[in-house]
Amino acid sequence: MKHSIHLSRSLSGLLLIIAVALSSCNTSKYVYLKDLEPNLPQPITQTHQTHIKSGDRLDIHVTCSKRELALPFNNLTYSVSADGSATASEAAAPKGYLVDNDGYIEFPTLGRLHLAGLTLPQASDYIKGLLVEGRHIPDAIVETSINNFTIYGLGALAPGKLVIPSGEINILQAVAQMGDLQNRANINKVRVIREEDGQRVEYDINMQSVELYNSPAFFLQQNDIVYAEPRKRTNQAFNTSSTVISIIAVLASLAYSLTYMFR
């Protein structure tokens, strides 16, 4: 019985040691912004505002003092009662307005509107102006957002995608939300692949340098692909060998312990 208890404890200890060893292999040991000097403010050299592009699906929400006037512009189905009051259907989920290849959307009553190239506040002001000047809604309030603002992660980064409701995110925030860079990543070469002006552009970012703040890809845009380039195979093989050696050492230690107990 005593031998069984000792064996159980030894096996539990082995599992714990292996778990710690494996978790340490997956934990990032990188130093970001390595050349950042403490207590030295970094000037903000660029500001960012998201611009509307073809393929964006916009959520345009119109409000005013008379709710009935705004309902037709909110992409919802609604019904009008006998007393003239209107009620929107809660079952109708707005899908948003798709910006076509020419940069236009089809908006109720106002028709075809060109919004590509505008920032979100500019689009809101533009639509508000049309509603007020056209005497559709004298006190219109318009809010515009992008429903499908998405960032994709590939390579030595947790693969997947991020949907950003606010429409604004930088490279550091994106990497953090994707679970950090893996140990096999080349931290000095994280690539951002972007489509702009009818062509694909690639930006390489050194995550250890404060120069990333000045990169055109520091602030990410719709449908950007963040690709963390893996290091060379020799480095990966070295890391794998180190892990295997560590586990073998643990197993050898356990074997020695079991031999000692059953003397």
Please state at what angle helix 2-26 crosses helix 233-261, rounded to 10 degrees: 170
* ∠ Cα 26 30 230 (to 5°): 65
Where does CATH 3.30.1950.10 sit in the chain? 57-146
Q: Chain-centre distance of CA 233, in angstroms? A: 28
> pLDDT by residue (tens digit) across 38-77?
777 777 777 788 999 999 999 999 999 998 899 888 875 5
Arithmetic mean of pLDDT over the chain:
79
Domain 57-146 sits in CATH 3.30.1950.10 = yes
> pLDDT by residue (tens digit) across 161-170?
999 988 899 9
Q: What is the pTM of this model?
A: 0.68
Q: Which residue has the higher pLDDT, 239 or 42?
A: 42
Q: Which residue has tokens 């312990």?
A: 257
Secondary-structure class of domain 12-46+149-263 per CATH: alpha beta
- pLDDT at residue 234, as a whole number: 47
For residue 117, CA distances in Å to 50, 51, 69, 101, 197 come to: 9, 5, 28, 12, 11
Where does CATH 3.10.560.10 sit in the chain? 12-46+149-263
Determine which of 100-104, 111-115, 243-247 has the lowest per-residue pLDDT on average: 243-247
Secondary structure, 3-state, 197-257: CCEEEEEEECCCCHHHHHCCCCECCCCCEEEEEECCHHHHHHHHHHHHHHHHHHHHHHHHH
Confidence category of residue 236, pLDDT binned at 50, 70, 90:
very low
